[in-house]
Structure 1
Amino acid sequence: MPTKKGLLREIETKREHLNTLAWEKPLFSKEVVQLSKELDDLLNKYDNNYRTRQGLVNSF
């Protein structure tokens, strides 16, 4: 598992790449959708590994 700092760096890099690609291609293009899914996966990984441990996630 990557460190918290490493995962945040990976998220920011992916976000920047997605932002750049979204200006070049339609938002519904395969490339943009795939990159968006990859960013979602990274954000979920961060949320599951770090936010949950800190008790920041509400349980319903």
Structure 2
Amino acid sequence: MSKNELVRLIEKKRSELIEVATTNGLTSSVAIRYSQELDHLINTYQQQYTQPSKTY
């Protein structure tokens, strides 16, 4: 998956999460599932496209 595709998926899922949370509440099962899916997409992005920071 390309970086642009992943960013598009993240933006779409974030938008869906906001809509579902507004309609059903932030603690609804659908909102929680969407939040977990968004977390997964963001984690994938970070693993593939960000450099690990070096701490000394």
Common fold: TM-score over 0.5: yes
Q: Where does structure 1 differ by over 4 angstroms across 4 or more consecutive aligned residues?
A: none
What amino acid does structure 1 have at the position aligned with 2:39? D
Larger relative helix fraction: 2
In structure 2, what is the equivalent of residue 58 of structure 1? 53
Q: Over aligned residues, Cα RMSD in angstroms?
A: 1.0
How many equivalent residue pairs? 55
Gaps of 5+ in 1: none
The two structures have a TM-score, normalised by structure 1, of 0.84
Gaps (5+ residues) in structure 2? none
Q: Percent of pairs identical after alignment? A: 35
CA distance in 2 between counterparts of 1:27 and 1:38 reads 14
